[in-house]
Amino acid sequence: MGANEQAVATALTRANSRLADGCTPLLKNHWYVAGLAADFTRELRERTFLGQSLVLYRTLAGQPVALLNRCPHRSFPLVHGSLEGDLLRCGYHGLTFRQDGSCGEIPAQATVPPGVCTRSFPVAERGPFVWIWMGDPAQADETAIPDTSWLVDPAWNHVSSYLELDANYVYLHENLLDLSHFTYLHPTTLGTPEYARTPFDVEVDGSRVRIKRFVKECDLPPIYAKTGIKGKISRRTESEFVSPAIHHASALMTDLQAGAGQRSDFTILITHFATPQTQDTTHYWFAFARDFALNDPQVDEYMRSSALTAFNEDRHALQEISRIYRSEPKAPETEIHIKSDKAGVAMRRIILNLAADEQG
Amino acid sequence: MGANEQAVATALTRANSRLADGCTPLLKNHWYVAGLAADFTRELRERTFLGQSLVLYRTLAGQPVALLNRCPHRSFPLVHGSLEGDLLRCGYHGLTFRQDGSCGEIPAQATVPPGVCTRSFPVAERGPFVWIWMGDPAQADETAIPDTSWLVDPAWNHVSSYLELDANYVYLHENLLDLSHFTYLHPTTLGTPEYARTPFDVEVDGSRVRIKRFVKECDLPPIYAKTGIKGKISRRTESEFVSPAIHHASALMTDLQAGAGQRSDFTILITHFATPQTQDTTHYWFAFARDFALNDPQVDEYMRSSALTAFNEDRHALQEISRIYRSEPKAPETEIHIKSDKAGVAMRRIILNLAADEQG
Amino acid sequence: MGANEQAVATALTRANSRLADGCTPLLKNHWYVAGLAADFTRELRERTFLGQSLVLYRTLAGQPVALLNRCPHRSFPLVHGSLEGDLLRCGYHGLTFRQDGSCGEIPAQATVPPGVCTRSFPVAERGPFVWIWMGDPAQADETAIPDTSWLVDPAWNHVSSYLELDANYVYLHENLLDLSHFTYLHPTTLGTPEYARTPFDVEVDGSRVRIKRFVKECDLPPIYAKTGIKGKISRRTESEFVSPAIHHASALMTDLQAGAGQRSDFTILITHFATPQTQDTTHYWFAFARDFALNDPQVDEYMRSSALTAFNEDRHALQEISRIYRSEPKAPETEIHIKSDKAGVAMRRIILNLAADEQG
């Protein structure tokens, strides 16, 4: 038994109670995606993050705003109010709030007592997405927002979409770190028959977890069928848990039959954004970027729809697993781990530690 | 700072834990409206009050009856039974019950053991409504039924309607004692722009709370547009929490441009009946009476539909607030109070005291 | 007061807390019907018994199989997998399971660690039904499966059907042991006016409870109207709680006007199969067998539809009672017992004792 087998055997017998699961407290001190930039407009919009209902809008100057969706007076959702310039006026008693959450006016009385406010959450726009900080505002450091620069780089094209997931976000991350399910759950989109058996490397780097796989020769996965790549390829994939909010995946496909002078390398970058909506539900955005077939709306449409098909298969699996967990609360504790879980198990231990740190 | 401002400041900082809220035990020893007189017929009807399912009907002699909707034998809802004269026969095993709840017959055996009965609740018909006493029967004193004599007085016309409210009844009373929201929640029905800022007086009289407002000159609120009153008016309103079951509001509108010999005073009496259905839901009946435009079905219809529009706005607000409370259970405790809450805060303190008395 | 009246009086005052009710732990160590034989096919089917989700199928050789519907790895429901011969392959990571629940393959690794399995439940086919044992496998004795031999005997014809019941199974058994409700709940199907008042005998025999009734002369119950029997009959009925899973009822109808040489005796055997789905819901199969009008599809159809009509009346009653129990949790404890409850009360005491034994 080699060192790796030994590690797997250890993982197999490790108590699940030391891993994050659907009951682990949600992590607040991270930047999460709050929505597309296009979701922040002059129309008030309600969205829930980490169990808190927020109201989202954009100032006249174009700045995205996220306030607690609750008037501090009688808890009426502010989303039913209206914007008067940059003031949000509550639709019940007419109190107004500035974008920092402070109260501007209480119509029924002459003055505003000190301290009347609703909570304002730090937000920052980065390319096509707006990020939000739900934790301690003093720790909100915009330089910690994960890099997604290729989403605004003209050398890349991307399509994006959204799914609401009726499952805890930890299980989404576990699914994303596990490439061995492609063959079985996604046979008509992402998987090819030999994929589940391919060896892989797992690297743990601080609070990041990376898994790498190289398939020397295989058929093109169906999802890339209409992108112009043809025939046999080699497939080098990397999948990384970057933070509780984001997972990066890349696939380098090399056309093994490309003639001299023909392009042989094609890269895909898939960015998955997981934002806990509640303990049991998750906002799931994803962006599918490519460095080939640029500016081709037909490829855009094909990849968007293929990605939605594939990720809906994951969604269905995760929701069905959650259904089993709800009916048999002890199920996750009795689960066994297999070799291909190594990355997911590492990630779940990291999330558990982060949660323990936040709970102090 | 005058005495009133001082009181408001005190209210603002008063701990919410000393006020009734949606968790305060429901009050049993009060007369509540059980329905329209027309709801009590020879057809059995199920309705829930204070969490208890009741079956309602009318005897051959015309007396309204309310029994616990549960056979004492195997708990089958009596509403699925049938009336045989004044006996209600259970649809499962055929036991019969008299209007006092006592059992008349058990078909499967020769005799009825002493004490077999379902609970009968005191009810009393008053004009267009039937009232019910859900508490200790020994304390059911019909002279304590609140006065609604104008609903049968030919000098007044009224229209009435019903809404089922997915919120605790305390919040409905708070909404009714608060006139400052008219401008914002009801701009197209009850409110006019200056209304929220008008000074008001609050009187606490035993377990009653009264709020008075006088607007010297204003436009006619939209709800009265088609009633024959025209132009600028003065508006004197009074709003009173009479009991946990009933709230009276009156509006005296004086036509400021009425010529000599022309009628200038027009009065509206609005009676709101709040009956807790469960801890979290409320039956809400209301009657809208006027001393003008008598016997005019078009005005009837206009007022009924305008009132429904306005009170549906309140219903939506209260239900949305309840939705926030359900998602953030500590929300009501952290609410701040403003000047216009004085009457509502007083009422919530009264209800809390009444509940403490009932809990002994 | 005779001995019987004395017993009834005792029953009336007996504390309900000594009787099984909807909260009594479900009984595991009994054979229950898992479905029709025809429900076990090469298509995977999900069904829940005693709160556990199972996947049902049939091997290539025709043997019915019931496995826990949960992969031991990541709890994905196995019903979303696929059959490869007699192996069930999980649809998430491709693990395979044999009909004994043992794991055949883990695609992502070379070997299967010892002990990896999902739970397999003993099942046995008996005529038109498959039975399942949800308890301790060591106690699964197929000779204990209740006799239903007449369902495969050519001297009898039967029709069967299924209802899903939103109520605990104890109340279904209580309903089945109580013949006095026929007159009131089933006036157009099973009942005749005098039925509720007919005397009856109750026998308790170990963990079985039997109730017998003889009506000397009555009209034919409507459900048998089109079976060829005519005029006045005598009706001898027996109803037996055989086990928590099964209730037998028989009716011998004798045609009182049959002439010499004419057939006068007609027998019906009704077998009721109650399988707890969850604590609060029940699978309810029934088979309606007769020894007359054999091989007559019109009588089949008439009896199936009449039985469904009658048993849907029971279903509605039991579900309405459960609704009352949910809204007033103390309702069952305050119920009074009447003479005709004697058999049901005995059965509920037996179930409570069986549950106490299983809980150890």
**pLDDT-based confidence at B12, cuts 50/70/90?**
very low
**pLDDT-based confidence at A10, cuts 50/70/90?**
very low
Find, among A209, A157, A158, the residue nearest to A179 by Cα. A209
C339–B92: do the CB atoms touch at under 8 Å? Answer: no
Condensed to tens digits (0 to 9), the pLDDT of residues C96-109 reads 999 999 999 999 88
Sequence-ordered list of residues with C-beta below 8 angstroms from that of A151, at least 6 positions apart, any chain: A127, A128, A129, A158, A271, A287, A289
Q: Nearest CB to C75: which of A183, A324, A337?
A: A324
**pLDDT-based confidence at C94, cuts 50/70/90?**
very high
Residues of B in Cβ contact (< 8 Å) with A90: 184
Q: Is the Cβ of A319 closer than 8 Å to some Cβ of chain C?
A: no
Q: State how far the Cα of A121 lies from the Cα of A142, in Å rounded to an integer.
A: 13
A70–B337: do the CB atoms touch at under 8 Å? Answer: no
Q: Where in the sequence of chain B do the CATH 2.102.10.10 domains occur? A: 39-121
Which of B324, B337, B340, B345 is most worth mutating to test chain A (most A CB atoms within 10 A of its CB)? B324
pLDDT at A196: 65
Residues of chain A with pLDDT > 90, as a percent, come to: 75
Cβ atoms of residues A129 and A41 within 8 Å: no
Is the confidence at residue A246, as pLDDT, over 50? yes
Which of A49, A75, A119, A277 is most worth mutating to test chain B (most B CB atoms within 10 A of its CB)? A75
Helix segments in chain A, DSSP class H: 3-13, 169-176, 182-185, 297-327, 342-359
Condensed to tens digits (0 to 9), the pLDDT of residues A159-204 reads 999 999 999 999 999 999 998 898 899 888 777 777 767 788 999 9
E strand or H helix at C164: strand C157-165
Q: Is the Cβ of A93 closer than 8 Å to some Cβ of chain B?
A: yes
Neighbors of chain C with 3 or more C-beta pairs under 8 Å:
A, B
Q: State how far the Cα of A204 lies from the Cα of B350, in Å rounded to an integer.
A: 61
In three-state secondary structure terms, C323 is helix
Condensed to tens digits (0 to 9), the pLDDT of residues C51-73 reads 999 999 999 999 999 999 999 99
Q: What is the mean pLDDT of chain C?
A: 91
Cβ atoms of residues B286 and B173 within 8 Å: no
Residues of C in Cβ contact (< 8 Å) with A12: 113
Lowest mean pLDDT among A104-108, B67-71, B312-316, C47-51: A104-108
Find, among C36, C53, C272, C312, the residue nearest to C166 by Cα. C312
Q: What is the mean pLDDT of chain B?
A: 91
In three-state secondary structure terms, A281 is strand
In three-state secondary structure terms, B58 is strand
E strand or H helix at B55: strand B52-58
B116–C8: do the CB atoms touch at under 8 Å? Answer: no
Which of B197, B338, B339, B347 is most worth mutating to test chain A (most A CB atoms within 10 A of its CB)? B338
Q: Nearest CB to A320: which of C80, C93, C113?
A: C80
**pLDDT-based confidence at B4, cuts 50/70/90?**
very low
pLDDT at B231: 76
Lowest mean pLDDT among A281-290, A291-300, B5-14, C290-299: B5-14
Q: Closest Cα of chain C to B79: distance in Å? A: 10
Condensed to tens digits (0 to 9), the pLDDT of residues A37-66 reads 999 999 999 999 999 999 999 999 999 999
Is the confidence at residue A146, as pLDDT, over 60? yes
Q: Nearest CB to A181: which of C70, C77, C92?
A: C92
Cβ atoms of residues A132 and A32 within 8 Å: yes
DSSP assignment letter at C192 = -
* Domain C3-18+148-359 top-level CATH class: alpha beta
DSSP B228-249: S--S-EEEEEEEEEEETTEEEE
Burial level of B290, CB count in 10 A (0-12/13-18/19+)? buried
In three-state secondary structure terms, C187 is coil
Sequence-ordered list of residues with C-beta below 8 angstroms from that of A11, at least 6 positions apart, any chain: A337, A341, A342, A345
Query: What mean pLDDT do residues B185-197 have?
Result: 77
Q: State how far the Cα of B250 lies from the Cα of C298, in Å rounded to an integer.
A: 70
Is the confidence at residue A5, as pLDDT, over 70? no
Assigned token pair, B168: 């605790």
Q: Is the Cβ of C279 closer than 8 Å to some Cβ of chain A?
A: no
Residue C37 has, within 13 A of its CA and on its CB side, a CA count of 10
Residue A57: C-alpha distances to residues A82, A88, B227, C142, C162 (Å): 11, 9, 41, 67, 54
**pLDDT-based confidence at A219, cuts 50/70/90?**
confident
Lowest mean pLDDT among A116-120, A195-199, A273-277, C180-184: A195-199
Which of A202, A327, A336 is most worth mutating to test chain C (most C CB atoms within 10 A of its CB)? A336
Is the confidence at residue C159, as pLDDT, over 70? yes
Assigned token pair, C253: 């109808």
Q: Closest Cα of chain A to B138: distance in Å? A: 38
A108–B197: do the CB atoms touch at under 8 Å? Answer: yes
Which of A53, A92, A96, A119 is most worth mutating to test chain B (most B CB atoms within 10 A of its CB)? A92
Which of C44, C48, C70, C92 is most worth mutating to test chain A (most A CB atoms within 10 A of its CB)? C92
Assigned token pair, A93: 């008693």
pLDDT at B230: 75
Is the confidence at residue C332, as pLDDT, over 90? no
Paired with B209 in beta bridges are B204, B241
Q: End-to-end alpha-carbon separation of chain B, Å?
A: 39
Q: End-to-end alpha-carbon separation of chain A, Å?
A: 39
Residue A283: C-alpha distances to residues A51, A278, C8, C148 (Å): 12, 9, 62, 53
Which of A5, A8, A21, A181 is most worth mutating to test chain C (most C CB atoms within 10 A of its CB)? A181
Edge-to-edge, what's the strand order for the sheet holding C233-243? Answer: C157-165, C281-290, C265-278, C246-255, C233-243, C208-218, C200-205
Q: Where in the sequence of chain C do the CATH 2.102.10.10 domains occur? A: 31-134
Q: Nearest CB to C339: which of B80, B109, B116?
A: B109
Q: Closest Cα of chain C to A38: distance in Å? A: 35
DSSP assignment letter at B132 = E
Q: Would the CA dihedral through B276, B281, B283, B284 be positive or negative?
A: positive
C69–A324: do the CB atoms touch at under 8 Å? Answer: yes
**pLDDT-based confidence at B226, cuts 50/70/90?**
confident
Condensed to tens digits (0 to 9), the pLDDT of residues C247-289 reads 999 999 998 888 888 888 999 999 999 999 999 999 999 999 9
**pLDDT-based confidence at A221, cuts 50/70/90?**
confident
Q: State how far the Cα of B49 lies from the Cα of B35, in Å rounded to an integer.
A: 11
Q: Is the Cβ of A199 closer than 8 Å to some Cβ of chain B?
A: no
Is the confidence at residue B93, as pLDDT, over 80? yes
Q: Is the Cβ of B356 closer than 8 Å to some Cβ of chain A?
A: no
pLDDT at C17: 57
In three-state secondary structure terms, B340 is helix
Q: State how far the Cα of C340 lies from the Cα of A271, in Å rounded to an integer.
A: 69
Q: Residue by residue, what is the 3-state secondary structure of B2-32? A: CHHHHHHHHHHHCCHHHCCCCCCCCCCCCEE
Q: Is the Cβ of A193 closer than 8 Å to some Cβ of chain B?
A: no
DSSP assignment letter at B302 = H
Is the confidence at residue C192, as pLDDT, over 80? no
Residues of A in Cβ contact (< 8 Å) with C109: 8, 338-340
Cβ atoms of residues C170 and C24 within 8 Å: yes
Tell me, what amino acid is at A339?
K
C335–B94: do the CB atoms touch at under 8 Å? Answer: no
Is the confidence at residue A152, as pLDDT, over 60? yes
3-state helix, strand, coil in chain A (%, to 5): 30, 30, 40
Neighbours of B69 (CB within 10 A): 28
Neighbors of chain B with 3 or more C-beta pairs under 8 Å:
A, C
Q: Would the CA dihedral through B333, B339, B344, B350 be positive or negative?
A: positive
- In chain B, the residue whose alpha carbon lies closest to the alpha carbon of C199 is B108
Phi-psi region of A189 (alpha: psi -120 to 50; beta: other; left: phi over 0): alpha
Q: Closest Cα of chain C to B99: distance in Å? A: 20
Condensed to tens digits (0 to 9), the pLDDT of residues A318-333 reads 999 999 999 988 888 8
Residues of A in Cβ contact (< 8 Å) with C75: 321, 324-325, 331-332, 335
Q: What CATH number is given for A3-19+148-359 in this structure? A: 3.90.380.10
Cβ atoms of residues A220 and A191 within 8 Å: no
Superfamily of domain B39-121: Rieske [2Fe-2S] iron-sulphur domain (2.102.10.10)
Residues of C in Cβ contact (< 8 Å) with B90: 184
Is the confidence at residue C331, as pLDDT, over 90? no
C320–B77: do the CB atoms touch at under 8 Å? Answer: yes
Cβ atoms of residues B125 and B106 within 8 Å: no
More confident residue, C268 or A227: C268
Find, among B283, B262, B280, the residue nearest to B272 by Cα. B283
Q: Would the CA dihedral through A212, A216, A218, A222 be positive or negative?
A: positive
Lowest mean pLDDT among A314-323, C4-13, C101-110: C4-13
Q: Closest Cα of chain C to A324: distance in Å? A: 7
Residues of A in Cβ contact (< 8 Å) with C93: 178, 180-181, 184, 196, 338, 340
Find, among A48, A16, A328, the residue nearest to A174 by Cα. A16
Find, among C62, C63, C107, the residue nearest to C81 by Cα. C107
Q: State how far the Cα of B18 lies from the Cα of A327, in Å rounded to an integer.
A: 40
E strand or H helix at A252: strand A246-255
Neighbours of C261 (CB within 10 A): 5
Tell me, what amino acid is at A355?
A
pLDDT at B17: 57
Q: State how far the Cα of C254 lies from the Cα of C218, in Å rounded to an integer.
A: 10
- In chain A, the residue whose alpha carbon lies closest to the alpha carbon of C49 is A327
**pLDDT-based confidence at B40, cuts 50/70/90?**
very high
Is the confidence at residue A1, as pLDDT, over 60? no
Q: Is the Cβ of B104 closer than 8 Å to some Cβ of chain C?
A: no
Q: Is the Cβ of C195 closer than 8 Å to some Cβ of chain B?
A: no
B184–A116: do the CB atoms touch at under 8 Å? Answer: no
Residues of A in Cβ contact (< 8 Å) with B341: 73
DSSP assignment letter at A119 = -
pLDDT at B7: 44
Beta-carbon pairs below 8 A across chains B and C: 81
B108–C184: do the CB atoms touch at under 8 Å? Answer: no
Find, among C109, C41, C107, C106, the residue nearest to C79 by Cα. C41
Q: Is the Cβ of B70 closer than 8 Å to some Cβ of chain C?
A: yes
pLDDT at C10: 46
Q: State how far the Cα of B6 lies from the Cα of B342, in Å rounded to an integer.
A: 12
Q: Is the Cβ of A182 closer than 8 Å to some Cβ of chain C?
A: no
C108–A180: do the CB atoms touch at under 8 Å? Answer: yes
pLDDT at B196: 66
The correct CATH number of A31-134 out of 2.102.10.10, 2.40.30.10, 3.30.70.260, 3.20.20.10 is 2.102.10.10
Residues of A in Cβ contact (< 8 Å) with C92: 181, 184-185, 317
Helix segments in B154-274, DSSP class H: 169-176, 182-185
E strand or H helix at C238: strand C233-243
Rg of chain C over CA atoms, in angstroms? 23
Rg of chain A over CA atoms, in angstroms? 23
Neighbors of chain A with 3 or more C-beta pairs under 8 Å:
B, C
Condensed to tens digits (0 to 9), the pLDDT of residues B273-325 reads 999 999 999 999 999 999 999 999 999 998 899 999 999 999 999 999 999 99
Instruction: Write down the residue that tokens 């030999």 correspond to.
Output: A194
pLDDT at A144: 97
Edge-to-edge, what's the strand order for the sheet holding C129-133? Answer: C31-36, C129-133, C123-126
